Every structure is written in structure tokens, then in C-alpha cells.
Structure 1
Amino acid sequence: MSKPRFIPGDWRRTLCAGLMLLCALRGAAADTTPDAAPLAGRLTEWVQAHAGGAAVAGPAGRRPRVEVSLGALDERIRLAPCLRMEPYLPPGTRPWGRIRIGLRCLEGATRWNVYLPATVRVFGQALTASADLAPGRALSAEVLRLAEVDLAAEASPALVDADALRGRSLARPLAAGQVLREHHLRPRQWFGVGETVRLLAQGRGFAIRSEGRALGPGLDGQTVRVMVEGGRVVSGIARAERTVEVLL
């Protein structure tokens, strides 16, 4: 019987193909399973190029190291031989961390569709706490150090540039050795209540600028109300130092 062949596709589908072919066919007929070793090598290359490439670059452009742990199908599942299979990622799946990969048979005596759990770990340099840090603690290079961590362990991005964090503070405690991620930080505050701010409104072919008084703190990326001349109140997004982008 001919060995399975995969439909050409983008890197996501190729990544799935390697993963699924290595493990999902454990319950299928033995003569339908190609040699796993070359596929494992190709899988690693694809993950390095794409999953690793999606990571935040470490110091000196150091590339992340990728490890893949494959789960297994229920031992009770027995897949019929298949000549043409299509691997896929369910909608919204990111090829990092704990994922679920789908594989469906398109050409065979029996059509089937299965899912396989897998874990993709991406190790690279990121900032960690050099000691226990309490909420509200201002960050600096003195309390942070670079270490190799699993960048894919959480959805929130790991941070790598200590200089860019000067003036930022923690929203939650950080234990010694714990990875510093975006969700650990308090939003950057661009201005305070009562400060005069610039209002910017842009559209196709026009740009309007004015000033007003902030009625709330200007937290980065969050909505704030501003009182303009005449007492009218408008809403916008705090985008930069004393700057609000008006919502049209």
C-alpha cells in the first residue's frame, strides 16, 4: 500500500503534518506509517523557523531553542489506513505552548478526523526577577537578570529589554527567578487627572488637533474622558505623553 502523502500548504500545516504523522498514526496500520526520523528532523526545522521566529529576539540575536512534546491518542482508537491526509490547526490555535492538532483522512476506505495534544516549548533569553518583588515595585536593571526560560509557557509575552522598563512598576508580585511578562506590569500612565492634554482626531484626508482637560488618568491604551472648550466631554485613547486619540 502506498505511504500517506500530505497536501502542500503553509508552515502551520507542515508543522501539523510532522506532529501528527509521528504520533497520531500509532493506532493505524503499520504499513501506512513512514519513517519517523526524517519527519522529526523536518518538524524541528519548521518549528525553529516559525515558532521560534515568532519569539522576541534575545540578546545578540540569539535564536530560541524549541522542544516538542507529543501527546498520544486514546489507545482504544484504531485508525483505518489512509492514502491522503490533511493536518490542520483549529481556528485561533497558536503553535506555542499546549496545543491541539487535527488530522483528517481525505482519501481512504474510511474517512476519519482526530485530535492530538502537543506541547511546544520555546526556550530563549528573557528577564527574570533577581529577588522577590512586591506589587508597585519600580523596575530597573538592578532587580532583573536575563535567563533562559520557556517563552511559550504563558500567553503573555516575556520581556527582554530592561532599559525599556525604566519607570514601569509591577501590578502583581514577582517571585525570585520568575519570568517577567507583559501582564505583570502596570499600564504606563501618560498623564494625570486634571492635566492639559492634546486631542488628535484623524481620518481619510483630514486631521484635527485641539486641547482639553483630562477627567481621568491617562493609562496607556485605555479610554479616558476629556473636557474641551465649552464644557463638552469627548472620549479617546491615551496613546502617548499628554496625548489622546479621539474616537470618531
Structure 2
Amino acid sequence: MRTQLLLWISLISALASPVLAKTTADEIREATSSFLETFARAQADKGYQVTYEAGNIDSRLALAPCSSALDVEFTGDPWKSEHPSVQVSCSGERPWRMFVTTTVSINGPALVAARPLGRGERVTSDMLQTRSVVVNASRRGIINDAELVQGMVVRRPVNAGSVLTPDLLEAPDAVARGDHVIITARRGSFSVRSRGKALANASIGEQVLVENLASSRTVKASVIAPGHVEVPM
């Protein structure tokens, strides 16, 4: 009797095994690696070299089976971190998701200072060099187009060889304290111009106090171009 019971249990277990199938750690690791490989190939087409490694996944892990392909996506920005997390998820009948740590290194061209740069200097092409760096080692981003920074002002001292990041540079002042400027008062397509004097320094897009030379009134205006400000009418 006991032997027959054991046989029945074995038979039921065998029949149930397809139903109890699981998504294994190997499948999750393979999906993660495939996702990272696709990312690396896409960046290679843009001139970047990507090396990657998926983090450890417990080999004992067993999640609900997934009737469709596993979805994989970054949950962090790989361009701002060398250790972005990856989310692996299943959107099938028994949905689940889990996170996998990764190591991603993106190498590519970036502008570096060709010599020490002083605060307040205007950037010119001879101040810059292009060098291959680990792009995502800096959370502040990088700059790789010299045309974009020509004429920008250095905000604080930069050592020779340092990677230029957007926060190190700022737009030059479009108006300076005491400059005579053109004030445009605008409403829709109708506008009136007058002359004024800037009471502070400001760059394009910033607001500045301006004295209207005709009325002696002080108004707050937006800088729209060098020597030009605008106020709503």
C-alpha cells in the first residue's frame, strides 16, 4: 500500500512539473547580458566603446514562468553612472520584476583643458584638446563639440587635462552694468522701442534692471541679445 502511494506521488509530481516550471537565474542573466550587448552595439555605431558586466544573480533564484520574452531596461542613466541598475520583468499572467546590478564603462571622445584655465577666461579653440575618456565616470556630463563652447566663460579654475563639464562654463554677459541698450516693449505683434541703461550684468535669457533714459523709470527686462532687452507691454 505504501509502495502504491509513493508511486502515485511520483506520478503526480511528474505530471505537475511543467506547471511548476520557473524562470531561472540563468535565463535572467542571459536576458541581461543580451540587453547590455545590444546597448554596446548601438553605442559603437556612434563612436563609443562599451564594456559591461552583469552583477551576481543567486543561482537558487526561481521566479514564476513567463509566457513572453523578458523585458529589460535601465533604471538608471548609463551615461551618468558606471553602475546603472537594470530591471528585468515579466508582463505575463503572473507578472514580476527584479533588479540586476551592472558595471558599464563607456569610452569616447571628450574635451579636456589643454592648459590651466583661469576663472573668467573666454574659451577659444587653442584651450581645448580632445581625448578618449570614460564618459560615464562623471555624473556632471561631458562636452565633445568644441563649437558649442567657443566664447563661453570659465566659471572656476580648471587644471590642465581636466575633462570639461557643462557646470564649469557659462554664457558670457550679453549686457554689462552701465551699457546702453535697446528696450523693446512688446504685446503680440506690436512693439515700441526706446533707449535704456543696464543697471547690472546679465546674459541672454536672464532678467536685468534697466533704466529707461526717456522716462527715468526702472523696469525689469529679459535679455534677448547683446545690447537688447525686452519687456511686456
Q: Pick the TM interval, shorter chain.
A: 0.5 to 0.7
1:197 aligns with 2:193: no
Gap change, CA 1:174 and 1:31, over 3 Å in 2: closer
Q: Aligned residue for 2:9? A: none
1:244 aligns with 2:225: no
The CA RMSD measured in Å over matched residues stands at 3.6
Gap change, CA 1:197 and 1:70, over 3 Å in 2: farther
Gap change, CA 1:234 and 1:76, over 3 Å in 2: farther
Instruction: Say whether the 8 Å CA contact 1:194–1:214 is kept in structure 2.
Output: yes
CA distance in 1, matches of 2:53, 2:190: 53
1:94-113 aligned within 5 A = 94-98=77-81, 99-107=84-92, 109=94, 111-113=95-97
For normalisation by structure 2, the TM-score amounts to 0.67
Q: Aligned residue for 1:128? A: 112
Q: Which amino acid aligns with 2:171?
A: P
CA distance in 2, matches of 1:172, 1:32: 46
Residues 125-165 of structure 1: per-residue CA shift (max 9 Å, x gap): 33211233332344333332222223443334414326952
1:139-218 aligned within 5 A = 139-152=123-136, 153-161=138-146, 165-166=150-151, 168-200=152-184, 205-211=188-194, 212-218=196-202
Tell me the number of residue pairs that the alignment of Structure 1 and Structure 2 aligns.
Answer: 205
For normalisation by structure 1, the TM-score amounts to 0.63
Gap change, CA 1:103 and 1:38, over 3 Å in 2: closer
1:13-24 aligned within 5 A = none
- Which of 105, 116, 127 is residue 100 of structure 2 equivalent to? 116
Q: Which amino acid aligns with 1:187?
A: A
Q: Aligned residue for 1:72? A: 55
CA distance in 1, matches of 2:145, 2:59: 45
Gap change, CA 1:142 and 1:46, over 3 Å in 2: closer
CA distance in 2, matches of 1:234, 1:112: 59
Larger Rg belongs to: 2
Provide the secondary structure at the position in 2 that maps to 1:183: helix
Instruction: Say whether the 8 Å CA contact 1:156–1:182 is kept in structure 2.
Output: yes
When structure 1 is superposed on structure 2, of 172-181 and 77-86 the one drifting more is 77-86
Q: Aligned residue for 2:14? A: none
Instruction: Say whether the 8 Å CA contact 1:224–1:235 is kept in structure 2.
Output: yes
Gap change, CA 1:43 and 1:83, over 3 Å in 2: farther
Residues 186-238 of structure 1: per-residue CA shift (max 9 Å, x gap): 431111112122334666x5152423321211223322222334344333332
- Which of 210, 221, 224 is residue 226 of structure 1 equivalent to? 210
Q: Which amino acid aligns with 2:157?
A: P
Gap change, CA 1:113 and 1:169, over 3 Å in 2: same
Percentage of matched positions with identical amino acids: 20
Shift of residue 65, structure 1, vs aligned partner: 1.1
Unaligned ranges ≥5, structure 2: 1-17
Shift of residue 170, structure 1, vs aligned partner: 1.5
